[in-house]
A and B are shown apart, each in its own frame.
Chain A
Amino acid sequence: MARQDLVRGEFNRRAFLGRAAATAAAVGTPGLLTACGNDDDRGTPSSGETTGTLRVAYYEFIDNVAPWLDDLKNEFEEANPGVTVEYLPQAADITAVDALVRKLSLEAREGEATYDLLLGTTGFVDVGALAKAGAVLNLDELLPDSYLDRLIGSAREGVIATDGSTYCMPFWTDVVGLMSRPDMLAEYGVDAPTTWDELPRFAEQLAGELPNDTYAYGADWAFIHRLFYPILVTLTDEPIADNGTINVGSPEGLQALELIKQVQPFMPPNAGDTSSRSDEAFQAGKLAMATYWQAKYQRSLESGFEEDQLEFGPNLEGSHPSTFFWDVSAVVTTHSAMPEVAVKFVTDGLLGEFGMTQSAEVSGRACPVTDLTDTVELPPWLEPAYNQLETGVMLPCNDAFVSVEQPTYLEEVGRMILEDVSPADTQKTLADAFSAYEY
């Protein structure tokens, strides 16, 4: 009866309702079945597997700078029969620490692991927070002595967490230095400074010559580890306080704050934004000098500059030469099914001959190992940065940076610059906040 009504073109409420319900069920049922489906047929992972699929996740920036990862995967699989490497690029970047800690903490609590290995972590940014939350594996029993012995001393010390254990495996380093435009400096008859004391004078001299939309010096002054700490480590041998925070309350800390306030007027107006605006200005040819790490220099090369237009030199000196560097490392998830293989991917894969060569030549990163130059010929511009690793200083592997140091520094140094608060008052506020930190 209903079908005949529809054929005759007459609207029949019963027929319509029936067909609408059938359509809704037809559309909804596949979706419901898909949602109920489980495509993870791994079952309960057992620890210590040496064959199977190694799931390697990495931050977005790794994807951008290491196009050779697929080749590394093939090489590793060939050297380790029975192991298949599956890459899982992560959409999030390294600043999404909170989300990462929540995710891995929940997985650890549930006895699960979406991936075995995560590449791109940094000791003082996310590793400290992850270790504190129990979200990553303690590697003390897993790291071979051969790997530990290879690490450059300062890099080895920097990955030991506050509890004395190691939770990450460094495979790259980023070293802070001074990027400059020798062609621009020569055009205006100004030399690049070699010390922090010289910087304000050079910047002022150059600023007087430059066009209105071009600036003498730049740095991410709003980040404690991108300008303040690189200054501090050249002024004192004790840049870290007893509680594991940056020694901002020292006389040298005040000196560093005063210097920042002195040079900030010569920077691009938005240098204090949290998005490397000085780097953008440098790549656009609007900046003569900038304090950045070597990867930013490589980005500038890729943006179209010729090699003779750019220079990457060591960090400016204070009372002694030094620099700040940090590791780019890997962590193993708490319930990884293949922790030994995950470690091997770093020690033999990323730090094997192929990995080290590609890191230096393509990614612009030096591996923090003592035998690097025995195996790899570093690009000329990268060699000074690598040589500074022995005298360089890291930040401790704890969660002070994300929980106290950076948020407080951003606020208070922002006030120092934007509201003209004195460096002494800023130092006092920072020191009070930092001294209250406990791991």
Chain B
Amino acid sequence: MSLAVTPKRLTRRHTRDLGWALVLVGPAVVLAAVFVIWPLIRTVYLSFFEYSFIIDELSFAGFDNYISWAQDAEMWQSLWISVQFFVFYVPTSMALALALAVLIDRLARKYMQSIYRTIFYFPVVLPAAIVFQMWLWIYDPTLGVIAQTGQAVGVDTSVNWLGNPDTALGSLALMSIWRLMGETVIFFLVGLAAIPRDYVEAGRVDGASEWTIFRKIIIPMLMPIIFLVFILRLKVLELINEPLFMTEGGPIGSTTTYGLEAYYLFTKEDQIGYANTWFVMMAIIAVAAAVFAGRRLKSYRE
């Protein structure tokens, strides 16, 4: 039998396989359309309207919501709080995670690497509500771990970490760093594993210090991973859960992030259309930040 395949047979087989492929990816496409694409379209659509769920009246507002957004002092205030959180949280968590990843990677015994990977990843898999409740107790100025430890050693640590506007946001960031650092460590470990050992060995042979090797070889080769982590962490700009659960945006609005303010517009103030405007603008800001970071990465690599 000839092994040659005629074009007519190839097209029929190709079409059949394509059909099966569509059948298999169809459910995922349908789910994405229903739960991602349609809500996205609806969000953008409603951002051009004034809508209250209770009154159930939709009135076209044009760009009024967007103009109001730009002129809203509370928007700028909450955005500034989100940016502060981002600036504190992202570099700190990435630096700590990178340091941990390098240390774990240097461990001679592979089973020790597995143990430490598990230890640091454990907080990531804990349910968020448990983490929040645990840290509420840690931070409690009378009954919490920090306060009790301070009492035991004779140091006054009855600081109201979450009730003081100067420390509340940082306290939330610290908790988030603890909670999600394991995930970043894993990313960096993957990146470190992909670096050819020859480059590092060559550096050592040439007499470079470990710090120089880290700066000149490891960091540049980790740049794609660093960029990926940065993009993933842009999500904190819309932070809602931590301030909602732990401080309800207080004290005196010091932890009312952009995401939380938008959430309150949606749930408490019933301004559905205006809240959607906030969400749309946040998406635009996040995309702009990602594009900017991408261009910086590109120019760095060039």
Q: Which residues of A pack against B, CB within 8 Å?
A: 13-14, 17-18, 20-21, 24, 28, 98-99, 101-102, 105-106, 109, 133, 212-213, 215, 268-270, 272-275, 277, 280-281, 284, 286, 407, 410-411, 414-415, 418-419
In chain B between 14 and 41, which residues have their CB closer than 8 angstroms to a CB of chain A?
16-17, 20-21, 23-24, 27
If A105-B54, A270-B140, A273-B163 touch, whether A21 touches B23 (CB-CB below 8 Å) is yes
A17 and B142 contact, CB distance less than 8 A: no
Which residue on B lies nearest to A275, using beta carbons? B136
B160 and A24 contact, CB distance less than 8 A: no
If A274-B250, A415-B252, A419-B252 touch, whether A98 touches B268 (CB-CB below 8 Å) is yes
* B270 partner residues in chain A, CB cutoff 8 A: 98
Complex formed: what's the CA distance from A167 to B270 in Å? Answer: 23
* B253 partner residues in chain A, CB cutoff 8 A: 411
In chain B between 244 and 265, which residues have their CB closer than 8 angstroms to a CB of chain A?
248, 250-253
If A98-B267, A270-B141, A277-B140 touch, whether A414 touches B162 (CB-CB below 8 Å) is no
A101 and B54 contact, CB distance less than 8 A: yes
B142 and A286 contact, CB distance less than 8 A: yes
B142 and A268 contact, CB distance less than 8 A: yes
- Cβ of B60 within 8 Å of any chain A Cβ, yes or no, is no
In chain B between 31 and 59, which residues have their CB closer than 8 angstroms to a CB of chain A?
53-54, 56
- Cβ of B94 within 8 Å of any chain A Cβ, yes or no, is no
B143 and A286 contact, CB distance less than 8 A: yes
Complex formed: what's the CA distance from A361 to B253 in Å? Answer: 42
A sample of 20 cross-chain residue pairs with beta-carbon separation below 8 angstroms, ordered by A number, consists of A14-B17, A17-B20, A18-B20, A21-B20, A21-B23, A28-B27, A98-B267, A102-B54, A105-B54, A109-B56, A212-B151, A269-B158, A270-B140, A273-B162, A274-B248, A277-B140, A284-B142, A411-B253, A414-B250, A414-B252
New A-B pairs, 6, CB < 8 Å, besides A13-B17, A17-B20, A269-B160: A14-B16, A21-B24, A105-B54, A212-B156, A277-B142, A415-B252
- Cβ of B284 within 8 Å of any chain A Cβ, yes or no, is no
- Cβ of B237 within 8 Å of any chain A Cβ, yes or no, is no
* B142 partner residues in chain A, CB cutoff 8 A: 213, 215, 268-270, 277, 280-281, 284, 286
Which listed residue, B53, B56, B162, touches A270 by the CB 8 Å rule? B162
Complex formed: what's the CA distance from A17 to B163 in Å? Answer: 58
- Cβ of B164 within 8 Å of any chain A Cβ, yes or no, is yes
* A28 partner residues in chain B, CB cutoff 8 A: 27
B251 and A272 contact, CB distance less than 8 A: yes
Which residue on A lies nearest to B53, using beta carbons? A102
Complex formed: what's the CA distance from A14 to B12 in Å? Answer: 13
* B252 partner residues in chain A, CB cutoff 8 A: 411, 414-415, 418-419
Closest-CB distance, A269 to chain B (whole angstroms): 4
Which residue on A lies nearest to B252, using beta carbons? A414
Complex formed: what's the CA distance from A410 to B158 in Å? Answer: 22
Complex formed: what's the CA distance from A28 to B30 in Å? Answer: 13
CB-CB contacts of B137-170 with A at 8 A, as 1s and 0s?
0001111000100010000101110111100000
* A109 partner residues in chain B, CB cutoff 8 A: 56
Complex formed: what's the CA distance from A277 to B53 in Å? Answer: 34
Complex formed: what's the CA distance from A398 to B141 in Å? Answer: 36
CB-CB contacts of B220-259 with A at 8 A, as 1s and 0s?
0000000000000000000000000000101111000000
Grouping DSSP codes into helix (H, G, I), strand (E, B) and loop, the A interface class, with mixed when no group exceeds half, is helix
A269 and B159 contact, CB distance less than 8 A: yes
Q: Closest 7 CB pairs between A and B?
A: A269-B160, A17-B20, A269-B141, A414-B252, A98-B267, A270-B163, A270-B160
* B159 partner residues in chain A, CB cutoff 8 A: 269
* B141 partner residues in chain A, CB cutoff 8 A: 268-270
* A105 partner residues in chain B, CB cutoff 8 A: 53-54
Which residue on A lies nearest to B248, using beta carbons? A274
If A272-B251, A273-B163 touch, whether A99 touches B158 (CB-CB below 8 Å) is no
Closest-CB distance, A222 to chain B (whole angstroms): 8
Which residue on B lies nearest to A28, using beta carbons? B27
Closest-CB distance, A112 to chain B (whole angstroms): 15
Complex formed: what's the CA distance from A215 to B142 in Å? Answer: 10
Which residue on A lies nearest to B141, using beta carbons? A269
Complex formed: what's the CA distance from A67 to B219 in Å? Answer: 61
Which residue on B lies nearest to A274, using beta carbons? B248
Closest-CB distance, A22 to chain B (whole angstroms): 10
* A286 partner residues in chain B, CB cutoff 8 A: 142-143
Closest-CB distance, A117 to chain B (whole angstroms): 22
Complex formed: what's the CA distance from A275 to B137 in Å? Answer: 12
Complex formed: what's the CA distance from A18 to B143 in Å? Answer: 61
Closest-CB distance, B302 to chain A (whole angstroms): 42
Complex formed: what's the CA distance from A286 to B102 in Å? Answer: 45
Which residue on A lies nearest to B13, using beta carbons? A14
Complex formed: what's the CA distance from A411 to B253 in Å? Answer: 7
Which residue on A lies nearest to B147, using beta carbons? A213
Which listed residue, A17, A99, A280, A411, touches B17 by the CB 8 Å rule? A17
Complex formed: what's the CA distance from A327 to B289 in Å? Answer: 51
B17 and A272 contact, CB distance less than 8 A: no
* B160 partner residues in chain A, CB cutoff 8 A: 269-270
Complex formed: what's the CA distance from A269 to B267 in Å? Answer: 30
* A24 partner residues in chain B, CB cutoff 8 A: 23-24, 27
Which residue on B lies nearest to A286, using beta carbons? B142
Complex formed: what's the CA distance from A99 to B263 in Å? Answer: 12
Closest-CB distance, A313 to chain B (whole angstroms): 24
Closest-CB distance, A406 to chain B (whole angstroms): 11
Q: For B23, B163, B253, which residue has the most chain A Cβ atoms within 10 angstroms?
A: B163
Which residue on B lies nearest to A211, using beta carbons? B151
Closest-CB distance, A163 to chain B (whole angstroms): 16
If A102-B53, A102-B54, A212-B158 touch, whether A17 touches B140 (CB-CB below 8 Å) is no
A284 and B143 contact, CB distance less than 8 A: yes
Closest-CB distance, A287 to chain B (whole angstroms): 9
* A407 partner residues in chain B, CB cutoff 8 A: 268
Closest-CB distance, A416 to chain B (whole angstroms): 10
* B162 partner residues in chain A, CB cutoff 8 A: 270, 273
If A98-B267, A212-B158, A269-B158 touch, whether A133 touches B147 (CB-CB below 8 Å) is no
Which residue on B lies nearest to A410, using beta carbons? B250
Which listed residue, A99, A101, A281, touches B143 by the CB 8 Å rule? A281
Complex formed: what's the CA distance from A212 to B141 in Å? Answer: 12
Complex formed: what's the CA distance from A268 to B24 in Å? Answer: 60
Closest-CB distance, B293 to chain A (whole angstroms): 36
A272 and B163 contact, CB distance less than 8 A: yes
A418 and B164 contact, CB distance less than 8 A: yes
Q: For A101, A215, A281, A418, which residue has the most chain B Cβ atoms within 10 angstroms?
A: A418
In chain B between 86 and 104, which residues have their CB closer than 8 angstroms to a CB of chain A?
none
